[in-house]
Every structure is written in structure tokens, then in C-alpha cells.
């Protein structure tokens, strides 16, 4: 196992691994786009196919339901995992079998680029990958500079929604400790819930009871009510297609619920491809090109 931002002190390869299982769709995509998709012998149900369906790359299950026996039978020299997307149990079972596992956990766009450099080192393709990764670094620098020209736009970006009998419609969103927040910030947005921490239990997050101490539980994904969102008056609402698939029905629901906010009054409640916000790696290039378009306006 390793830390999540691209440093992997325990993964030492004299020769680059040729049999790799990826449990992380965004990393699978990055490996394919960096020209080493032929190393992928196993992928999840949600990963892009490195062969376009032309050969026998094995599907090992979902990101949270990977089949350990199938993975083991593939005799991988390396398994690629992610702290959020894959279960700790899966990682521990693979390591007990003596299979090297690299666990990534990027919390911002800079971490994501460091992971790309680490991939280049592990697979010994630094000279081939350097132009692409360096170009991505330049895009990031340019986008970061461009975002400083004007004031950031107040943005609300939910990633899930449900209803509560007492509190009504509520959304799960993200705070400053997440990769999604980093993409929004770099693109010229200011996440209205960047300082908001998740409270436990759910009723406390929705303001119905007093919160208990979170302990070691994750506080990066607060659940917020309609009134809490309206109070912060977002100028833009972004409804991504994943992990919750926001569609036109949810967009209309949000517009009714958030009536009176600048985002609704000015017609800035948008559906967008969730991969732009959640898939780190080479997909970042698309995010830096497309996400600012939702946030830059006169």
C-alpha cells in the first residue's frame, strides 16, 4: 500500500509491471491514454476497455465488489486501487495474497498530476509520458491564472440527493478537502460549502438534533437542506451525472426548490458530465477545458 498522492515508496520494480489490474476507472483511462493499456489484464465494470472489446481483458466486478479469486487468477504484478472507490477489505485481502497494491487518494488537482508522474515512473515511460503530463501542468497553471482575473462565482455542486420526512429534500455535497472542490476552485468557482463539515448522525446534518463528535468518520461530504443552500445564494448550480445521476427531472426539482437564488433567477442551473469533476488523471485536461465555461460569465 502507499499514500494517496502519487508517492509509492513500497512499490519498487526493476522491470515495469506487465500484468496489472485496475480497480479505478479514471486510472484505467489514464493508463490507456498514456499508451500502456496493453498492461491491463483486469478492469472493473466501470472502466474503459483498453482493447475496445477486441481481446480478452477480464472484468473483475464493480469498484466495491471486486472478485478476489478472479483477480488472483490473473496473476497481477500490481493492483491499482483508490481509498474512496474501493473497500479496505479488498485491499487487505489482496495484500494477504502477496499481491502489490497501490492505493491512491488525490484530494486536489496537484495530487492528480503527481499520480500521473508516478504512473510514468512505475511503468518506466517517463520520456514518452512527459510531454503529455507537462502540457497538463501548463494547462493547470494557465487555468489557475485565468481564474484570478475575476471574482470566483459562488457554486453549489451536490453529488447525491434524497428526502427526509421532517427536513424534506436534501443534498449531499462536498467541502474543501475533496478533489471536486479543487476542480471547481481552479475553474473559477467558490464552493459555497467549502467550510462545511459533515455532522453525525444524519438528523444532525439536517439541523434536526445536536451533533455528536465525528471521531474518525469522514466529514468531507456534508448533507444540506434546501434552506441552507438558499441562505448561501449560489450563483451557479452544477448537477453532475455521477455518483448520483442528476437528470432533467432533478434539475427542474432543484430550480423549484431554489427559487429566488441568483442561479435560478439567471438560468444557471446546469447538468454536466460528472466525470469532469470526479475522474482524476488524464481526464483533468477535459475538466480544465470545459468546467470553466459553466463558471465564467459577465
Q: DSSP per residue over 145-211, as a string? A: HHHTSSPPEEEE--SEEEEETTTEEEEE---TTSHHHHHHHHTTEEETTTTPPP-BSHHHHTTSSPP
Residue at 133 is within a domain: yes
Domain co-membership, 289 together with 157: yes
Can you tell me the distance from the alpha carbon of 287 to that of 187, in angstroms, rounded to the nearest whole number? Answer: 8
Domain co-membership, 55 together with 88: yes
Rounded to the nearest integer, the mean pLDDT of the chain is 93
For residues 101 and 95, is the Cβ–Cβ distance under 8 A?
yes
Residue at 6 is within a domain: no
Can you tell me the distance from the alpha carbon of 120 to that of 134, in angstroms, rounded to the nearest whole number? Answer: 12
Residue at 60 is within a domain: yes
Q: How many domains does the chain have?
A: 2
pLDDT the model gives residue 7: 46
Residue at 5 is within a domain: no
Residue at 38 is within a domain: yes
For residues 44 and 23, is the Cβ–Cβ distance under 8 A?
yes
pLDDT confidence band for 57 (50 / 70 / 90): confident
Last residue of a domain, one of 119, 144, 169: 144
Residue at 4 is within a domain: no
pLDDT the model gives residue 9: 44
Residue at 7 is within a domain: no
pLDDT confidence band for 45 (50 / 70 / 90): very high
Domain co-membership, 116 together with 236: no
pLDDT confidence band for 12 (50 / 70 / 90): low
pLDDT in tens, 220-263: 999 999 999 999 999 999 999 999 999 999 999 999 999 999 99
Q: Considering the entire predicted model, what is its pTM? A: 0.91
CA 230 to chain CA mean position, Å: 26
pLDDT the model gives residue 25: 96
Strand partners, 154: 190
* The pLDDT of residue 8 is above 70: no
Q: Where residue 211 sits, what CATH number does that domain have?
A: 3.40.50.1980
Can you tell me the distance from the alpha carbon of 45 to that of 24, in angstroms, rounded to the nearest whole number? Answer: 10
- Identify which of 193, 183, 182 has the alpha carbon closest to the alpha carbon of residue 158: 193
Percent of the chain having pLDDT more than 90?
88
Q: Which one-letter DSSP state was computed for residue 57? A: P
Where in the sequence is the domain holding 138, given as residue range(s)? Answer: 20-144
Strand partners, 189: 153
User: How far, CA to CA in Å, does 102 sit from each of 2, 61, 129, 203, 210?
Assistant: 6, 18, 20, 36, 39
Residue at 164 is within a domain: yes
* Residue 265 backbone dihedrals phi, psi, to 5 degrees: -60, -35
DSSP state string for 82-141: ETTTS-HHHHHHHHHTT--EEEE---SHHHHHHHHHHHHHHTT-HHHHHHHHHHHHHHHH
Residue found under cell 437528470: 247
pLDDT in tens, 276-285: 999 999 999 9
Instruction: Tell me the CB-side half-sphere exposure of residue 128, using CA atoms within 13 A.
Output: 12
* The pLDDT of residue 79 is above 70: yes
Amino acid at each position: 500500500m502507499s499514500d494517496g498522492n502519487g508517492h509509492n515508496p513500497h512499490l519498487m520494480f526493476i522491470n515495469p509491471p506487465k500484468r496489472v489490474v485496475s480497480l479505478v476507472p479514471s486510472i484505467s483511462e489514464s493508463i490507456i491514454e498514456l499508451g500502456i493499456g496493453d498492461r491491463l489484464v483486469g478492469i472493473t465494470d466501470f472502466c474503459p476497455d483498453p482493447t475496445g472489446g477486441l481481446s480478452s481483458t477480464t472484468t473483475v466486478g464493480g469498484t466495491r465488489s471486486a472478485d478476489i479469486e478472479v483477480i488472483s487468477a490473473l496473476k497481477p504484478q500490481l493492483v491499482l486501487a483508490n481509498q474512496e472507490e474501493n473497500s479496505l477489505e479488498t485491499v487487505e485481502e489482496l495484500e494477504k495474497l502477496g499481491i502489490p497494491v497501490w492505493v491512491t487518494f488525490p484530494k486536489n488537482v496537484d495530487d492528480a498530476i503527481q499520480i500521473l508522474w508516478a504512473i510514468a515512473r512505475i511503468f518506466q515511460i517517463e520520456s514518452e509520458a512527459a510531454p503529455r503530463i507537462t502540457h497538463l501542468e501548463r494547462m493547470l497553471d494557465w487555468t489557475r491564472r485565468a481564474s484570478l482575473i475575476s471574482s470566483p462565482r459562488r457554486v453549489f455542486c451536490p453529488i447525491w440527493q434524497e428526502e427526509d420526512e421532517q427536513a424534506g429534500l436534501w443534498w449531499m455535497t462536498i467541502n474543501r478537502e475533496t478533489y471536486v472542490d479543487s476542480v471547481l476552485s481552479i475553474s473559477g468557482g467558490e464552493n459555497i460549502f467549502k467550510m462545511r463539515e459533515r455532522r453525525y448522525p444524519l438528523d444532525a446534518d439536517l439541523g434536526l438534533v445536536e451533533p455528536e463528535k465525528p471521531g474518525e468518520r469522514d466529514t468531507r461530504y456534508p448533507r444540506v437542506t434546501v434552506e441552507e443552500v438558499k441562505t448561501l445564494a449560489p450563483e451557479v448550480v452544477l448537477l453532475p451525472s455521477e455518483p448520483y445521476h442528476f437528470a432533467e427531472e432533478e434539475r427542474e426539482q432543484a430550480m423549484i426548490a431554489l427559487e429566488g437564488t441568483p442561479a435560478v433567477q439567471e438560468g444557471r442551473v446546469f447538468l454536466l458530465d460528472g466525470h469532469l469533476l470526479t475522474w482524476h488523471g488524464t481526464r483533468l485536461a477535459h475538466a480544465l477545458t470545459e468546467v470553466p465555461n459553466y463558471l465564467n460569465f459577465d
